[in-house]
Chain A
Amino acid sequence: MNATKHITFSPARIAAIASNTLLELVRLKVFYFMLIFALLLIGSSAFMVRFTFQQQFQVLKDVSLGAMSIFTWLLATLSTAMLLPKDIEDRTLYTILAKPVPRLEYLLGKLLGVLAMLAIALVFMSALFLVVLYWREQIVLAETARTTAPEELDAALREVRGLTFNINLLPGIGFIYLKAAVVAAMTLLLSTFASSWIFTVIVSVMMYVIGHVQPIAREYWLGAIPGGTVASPVLKILLGLIAVVFPDFQLFNLVDDIVVGNAVSAVMFMKTAGLGFGYVFIYTLVGYLMFANKEL
């Protein structure tokens, strides 16, 4: 008689698959991406000495948050795209699904493994970014203290501090993560029916691009911008469908506003976070429905 008793839905099984996926990505050395990020950060800092301190902090935040957004997107797309096809090609999927493992748990385990890897990568990049930001701030503060008259010093130091760390950076980084999570769930869905990982990557990139341009197209066709046109009812339905299938990735770019000093309202934060989690849930659910009926 076998040594275990089957549990219909087991978080322990999902955790085992997730930690194995994370280990796979770690041993595939995906974190080498981080070195490029570090070099980019240090390199951009070296060019800043000629700028005013306002420009320095602006460029540092722009470069760092932009690079974080691109790297997490690349990591999410490339690492997720290869997971399923590789397991099928190596027949490891057969050995896993021939055990008492429901397909939903396998898929969730894979997704959570990628999300854990993205979280580690983003925490590392954020820490590096904040350290460099703090380091530049200390340099500018010392310089300001040296060159500013005593009666104006307090105001000058406050201005410098106001331009560096801003608590709104944290939700901004959160949105970068959420955007990458949506991309990972979307790519995983694609890989459940794609014939190869290259196809998955190409379609995922296309969906990412469409997700960024669709709000502009929507506004143009719905006459919301000057020079735009008013769409026919059929086109409106089509635009509605595109808006449902392809997430509006521009919504997650709140970090651009945060960099220029704008705060994100609690309502906006909740709405965007809800949208992100909603897309992750829907993509995972559809991915499961595709995978549940897949002939292996």
Chain B
Amino acid sequence: MPDPAISIHNVTKTYPIPFRKEIVVAVKNLSLDVEPGQVYGLLGPNGSGKSTTMKIVLGLVRPTSGKTEIFGRSSTEVESREDVGFLPENPYFYKFLTGEETIQFYGKICGLSGAKLRERTKELLALVGLENAAKRRIGGYSKGMLQRIGLAQALVQEPRLLVLDEPTAGVDPAGSREIRDLILDFKKRGLTVLLCSHLLSQVQEICDRIGILHEGVLVREGRLDELISIQNQTELILENASPELLAVIAREASAGGARLVEQRKPQTTLEQYFLDVTGGRK
């Protein structure tokens, strides 16, 4: 059995309030596993402990008690970060560097150099669609471009785990769709993704499993399809059904002891409609 990509055991994190005897509990007795290859959504309102949990997993913050592991290695070991790529919320990076220099810098601190680094930089710029902006300074990048260069730097050392904090925050619908497609592509390639997002519709589209944090406590956790499906209802979608056929179905359902709860036209999403109208980016 392979080690979980992320393993969190009974983690609690408290912060003392300066000059007072009180403490703030950011995360309380949290335990969860993220299996390799999963896209895991960590959800919760602001201040629920999502970012603190991510920082503990990445070794940026020490837990008050409990422990976290990445592919079986403690998060407190620097080596555990060989397998992690991280994109923080609203990253700025170094404005004085170009997109290409940014990826090269992150590549160098991960031990890449020479032709291998140049090749990897080119590959990543192509992956996130920034080849044409490679020589431009980051200071002139749009929000969506910053997120994409952020994804590229996160992937530079070919990690097995990606930790993404609000990767589509402040990005327009087309850019948001592109980032979503990239995450789905990472999933296809077998990468594990831990995703924090307020965009629940997007989480629903891409996550296999979710955990909901509220005031530092994990209140729900499980497979997304199991958590949100209504167990005693069934959805039928028919194409070109006549009113007579629908009437027959309703009658038969009633005769069989079932109740027709709702009959309506399926709708597309507002995002899809917007992209159809504006032509999207792709």
Contact = CB atoms under 8 A, between A and B. Distances in A.
Given A4-B110, A16-B109, A296-B55, A102 B93 contact: no
B94 A100 contact: no
Contacts of A7: 111
B193 interface: no
B11 interface: no
- Chain B interface residue number, banded: 35 or more
Q: Which of B59, B90, B108 neighbours the largest number of chain A CB atoms within 10 Å of its CB? A: B108
A58 to B, nearest CB: 42
B202 to A, nearest CB: 22
B111 A98 contact: no
Contact of A91 (B61, B62, B83, B91): B91
Q: For chain A, what secondary structure do more than half of its interface residues adopt (helix, strand, loop), or is it mixed?
A: loop
Contact of A99 (B109, B113, B120): B109
Nearest to B60: A296
Contacts of B109: 13, 16-17, 96, 99, 101
B157 A4 contact: yes
Contacts of A123: none
Contacts of A23: 96-97
Contacts of B106: 95-96, 99
B91 A4 contact: no
A12 interface: yes
Contacts of B181: none
B186 interface: no
Contacts of B116: 3
A1 B158 contact: yes
A242 B131 CA distance: 56
A5 B82 CA distance: 8
Interface string A1-33: 111111100101100110010011001100000
Interface string B55-85: 1001111100000000000000011011111
B112 interface: yes
A225 interface: no
A199 to B, nearest CB: 15
B88 interface: yes
Given A1-B160, A24-B96, A96-B109, A295 B61 contact: yes
B111 to A, nearest CB: 4
A94 interface: yes
Contacts of B273: none
- Chain A interface residue number, banded: 20 to 34
A3 B83 contact: no
B56 to A, nearest CB: 10
Interface in A157-204: none
Given A92-B93, A99-B109, A296 B61 contact: yes
Contact of B84 (A10, A24, A98): A98
A182 B58 CA distance: 33
Contacts of B90: 91
A4 B111 contact: yes
Nearest to A91: B88
B93 A90 contact: yes
Contacts of A27: 96
Interface in B105-154: 105-106, 108-113, 116, 120, 150, 153-154
B86 interface: yes
A206 interface: no
B96 A90 contact: no
Nearest to B111: A4
Given A16-B105, A95-B153, A2 B60 contact: no
Contacts of B159: 2
A106 to B, nearest CB: 9
B79 A6 contact: yes
A120 interface: no
A131 interface: no
Interface string A91-117: 110111111111000000000000000
Contacts of A94: 55, 58, 60, 86, 88, 91
A95 B111 CA distance: 15
A295 B62 CA distance: 7
A35 B97 CA distance: 25
Contacts of A296: 55, 60-61
A39 B61 CA distance: 49
Given A16-B109, A296-B61, 9 more contacts: A3-B116, A4-B111, A12-B113, A20-B94, A23-B96, A27-B96, A95-B88, A99-B106, A100-B110
The 10 closest A-B pairs by CB, nearest first: A98-B86, A16-B108, A4-B111, A90-B92, A27-B96, A3-B158, A296-B60, A100-B81, A91-B88, A6-B79
Interface of B: 15, 55, 58-62, 78-79, 81-94, 96-97, 105-106, 108-113, 116, 120, 150, 153-154, 157-160, 163
24 contacts: A1-B160, A2-B82, A2-B83, A3-B158, A4-B112, A10-B111, A13-B109, A20-B94, A90-B91, A92-B93, A92-B94, A94-B60, A94-B88, A95-B88, A96-B106, A98-B58, A98-B85, A99-B110, A100-B82, A100-B111, A101-B78, A293-B62, A295-B62, A296-B55
